[in-house]
Amino acid sequence: MYVWSGSDMAETYEDTIRQLKEIVEKIEDGNTSLEESIRLYEQGAALVKRCETLLNNAELKITILSRDAERPS
């Protein structure tokens, strides 16, 4: 079973953002064919969904931690 850790999420999120930036640069460089641009766009869309999932998971984790911190000991 995989255990979530904040550092794993951050690295994955950062890596995904880096990949997205590379895709944008390739699409905008003017040397990429239409077919390749469409393929890259599809990859980028999947990466955006991955980022959204990672951010939603982080938000949930923070919410849970906040609730736990507010409970009296």
- Quote the distance between the C-alpha of residue 8 and its chain's center: 12
CA distance 12 to 51: 9
* pTM for the model: 0.74
What are the extents of the domains in the chain?
35-73
For 14-64, the pLDDT digits (tens) are 999 999 999 999 999 999 999 999 999 999 999 999 999 999 999 999 999
Q: What pLDDT score does 62 carry?
A: 94
Query: H/E element holding 44?
Result: helix 34-70
Task: Give the residue carrying structure tokens 């995989």.
Answer: 2
H/E segment holding residue 11 = helix 6-28
Kindly indicate the confidence band of residue 6, based on its pLDDT and cuts at 50, 70 and 90.
low
Q: Can you give the length of the chain in residues?
A: 73
